């Protein structure tokens, strides 16, 4: 209104201006949540009217949002965390206390690889998080089931084609939370950027409909999803092309100073400061071999699940020993040397300092040094699963519009922010596997008369 008045005052009847279009993104903080000794990313949600606070695991490996019904058998299970009376409780939802609750005439069922199963019904509800509120969101309300781990709500943000009702052939799909945000006009795309951040820090963030460019320490690389072509699934599965370990200054390697080839100071050299030697400042030791499986990028996985053959190479490379109880351990201070794992996904490469992976155990070595373990477990299927421990070192853009994942080294523990909208055509003119320049804010032409 002020602009139009000024134009008239100046005697201008018509002019074309280019103005910045308001980006449509939704930003929400991510915090860490304990799953036993392990950690994964979570998000606080307000469910209902007035909002009832629950904490949900932020999960790219599933596609349904569900919360437990307050007072249900799930909440009364010894593993329930519904009461909200201590720091480990994650809350529950009392449908009788919400004026916006609407039951849906369809049963809800979801199960997970850790053996957790939940049963209940679908409902539609108001959901608040970050800087937004959405209405009539379809989700599950769970009342009973089987718990093999502490009860925590799940915020599944994977493709809608992987919703439990579709996978289990119990009914049609629906707009899950990312799709509902787009349907209600709060975002323009089924794309979101995830910054889990170092678990030793306070929090990370997710940007639905965009990304936070200030969280990138390197260039964004675009990696194609291969699940649909190779495994008939829309999961966030990409090719895992390399895996290596680089010891830091004085770090232990995997042998007695001998590398795997000919040369001087490189990781493949014989003698000298070889990457496979004890001590020195060596090069990288290959841990992956030639037959790495495809990998699921799963923020809901608190570990790194990979083939036994790969795990067998990790132990000697980083100097793993066994504690009296059989736990695989390393001195916690071995992470102070700058040692790191490097994960390669085609054009994308992510360095993960081993110190970011360490989980303290109640034990010490003969020298009195505190010992730590790592969140590693065996997965010998055709698809490995790399979870939150890897992704805390990466900035990842999950793009369900173009079936790609954008990956860059994360700038950990930064408070800077630069939110950018990512529309469905953000990759126009680019091929997966290529570097991606960061998008500029979209602009539109406005004619004032």
The answer to whether residue 297 sits within a structural domain is yes
Q: What is the mean pLDDT of residues 124-146?
A: 97
In terms of domains, do 231 and 375 share one? yes
The answer to whether residue 214 sits within a structural domain is no
Say which of 59, 212, 235, 399 is annotated catalytic.
Answer: 59
CATH number at residue 70: 2.40.70.10
In terms of domains, do 123 and 245 share one? no
- Cα 285 to Cα 277: distance, rounded to the nearest angstrom: 10
In terms of domains, do 107 and 151 share one? yes
Q: Note the pLDDT of residue 37.
A: 74
In terms of domains, do 235 and 313 share one? yes
The answer to whether residue 157 sits within a structural domain is yes
The answer to whether residue 381 sits within a structural domain is yes
Single out the residue in 359, 374, 395 at which a domain terminates: 395
Say which of 64, 298, 380, 399 is annotated catalytic.
Answer: 298
In terms of domains, do 182 and 229 share one? no
Domain span including residue 253: 222-395
In terms of domains, do 52 and 174 share one? yes
**Residue 256: pLDDT band by 50, 70, 90 thresholds?**
very low
* Matching residue, tokens 């910045």: 20
In terms of domains, do 265 and 174 share one? no
Q: Higher model confidence: residue 251 or residue 414?
A: 414
Contact status, residue 65 vs residue 126, Cβ threshold 8 Å = no
In terms of domains, do 368 and 280 share one? yes
The answer to whether residue 288 sits within a structural domain is yes
In terms of domains, do 161 and 236 share one? no
The answer to whether residue 153 sits within a structural domain is yes
* pLDDT tens digits along 83-111: 766 777 899 999 999 999 999 989 999 99
pLDDT at 82 over 50: yes
Q: What is the mean pLDDT of residues 4-12?
A: 35
The answer to whether residue 329 sits within a structural domain is yes
Single out the residue in 132, 165, 186 at which a domain terminates: 186
In terms of domains, do 245 and 182 share one? no
- Cα 394 to Cα 417: distance, rounded to the nearest angstrom: 16
Single out the residue in 163, 186, 209 at which a domain terminates: 186
In terms of domains, do 48 and 182 share one? yes
Is 298 annotated as catalytic?
A: yes
Biggest CA–CA distance in the chain, Å, is: 87
Which residues contact residue 416 at a Cβ distance below 8 angstroms, ignoring those fewer than 6 apart? 214, 215
Q: Note the pLDDT of residue 18.
A: 41
- Cα 314 to Cα 307: distance, rounded to the nearest angstrom: 11
The answer to whether residue 441 sits within a structural domain is no
Q: Are strands 304-306 and 376-378 parallel, antiparallel or unpaired?
A: parallel
**Residue 19: pLDDT band by 50, 70, 90 thresholds?**
very low
Q: What is the mean pLDDT of residues 13-21?
A: 45
Beta bridge partners of 447: 16
> What's the pTM?
0.86
* Total domains present in the chain: 2
Q: Are strands 304-306 and 321-322 parallel, antiparallel or unpaired?
A: unpaired
* pLDDT tens digits along 304-322: 999 999 999 999 999 999 9
In terms of domains, do 239 and 138 share one? no
Is 365 annotated as catalytic?
A: no
């Amino acid at each position: 209104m002020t602009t139009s008045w000024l134009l008239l005052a100046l005697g201008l009847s018509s002019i074309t201006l280019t103005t910045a279009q308001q980006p449509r993104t939704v930003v929400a903080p991510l915090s860490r949540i304990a799953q036993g000794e392990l950690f994964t990313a979570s998000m606080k949600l307000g469910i209902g009217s007035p909002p009832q606070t629950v904490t949900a695991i932020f999960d790219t490996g599933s596609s349904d949002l569900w919360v437990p019904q307050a007072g249900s058998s799930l909440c009364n299970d010894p593993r329930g965390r519904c009461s909200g009376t201590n720091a480990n409780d994650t809350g529950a939802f009392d449908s009788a206390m919400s004026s916006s609750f609407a039951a849906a005439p369809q049963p809800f069922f979801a199960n997970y690889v850790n053996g957790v199963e939940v049963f209940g019904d679908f409902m539609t509800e108001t959901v608040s998080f970050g800087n937004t509120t959405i209405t009539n969101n379809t989700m599950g309300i769970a009342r009973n089931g089987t718990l093999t781990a502490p009860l925590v709500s799940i915020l599944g943000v994977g493709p809608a084609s992987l919703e439990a009702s579709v996978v289990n052939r119990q009914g049609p799909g629906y707009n899950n939370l990312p799709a509902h945000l787009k349907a209600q006009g709060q975002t323009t795309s089924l794309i979101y950027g995830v910054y889990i951040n170092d678990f030793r820090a306070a929090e990370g963030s997710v940007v639905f409909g965009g990304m936070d460019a200030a969280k990138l320490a390197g260039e964004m690389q675009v990696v194609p999803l291969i699940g649909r072509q190779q495994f008939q699934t829309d999961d966030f599965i990409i090719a895992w092309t390399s895996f290596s370990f680089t010891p830091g200054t004085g770090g232990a390697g995997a042998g007695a100073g001998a590398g795997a080839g000919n040369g001087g100071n490189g990781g493949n050299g014989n003698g000298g400061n070889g990457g496979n030697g004890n001590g020195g400042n060596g090069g990288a030791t290959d841990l992956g071999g030639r037959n790495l499986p495809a990998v699921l990028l799963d923020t809901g996985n608190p570990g790194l699940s990979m083939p036994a053959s790969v795990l067998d190479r990790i132990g000697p490379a980083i100097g793993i020993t066994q504690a009296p109880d059989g736990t695989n351990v390393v001195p916690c201070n071995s992470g102070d040397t700058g040692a790191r794992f490097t994960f390669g996904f085609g054009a994308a490469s992510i360095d993960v300092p081993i110190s970011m992976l360490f989980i303290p155990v109640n034990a010490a070595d003969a020298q009195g040094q505190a010992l730590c373990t790592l969140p590693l477990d065996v997965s010998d299927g055709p698809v490995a699963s790399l979870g939150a421990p890897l992704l805390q070192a990466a900035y990842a853009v999950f793009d369900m519009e173009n079936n790609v994942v954008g990956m860059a080294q994360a700038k950990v523990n930064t408070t800077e922010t630069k939110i950018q909208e990512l529309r469905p055509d953000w990759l126009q003119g680019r091929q997966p596997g290529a570097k991606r320049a960061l998008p500029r804010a979209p602009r539109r032409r406005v004619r004032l008369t």
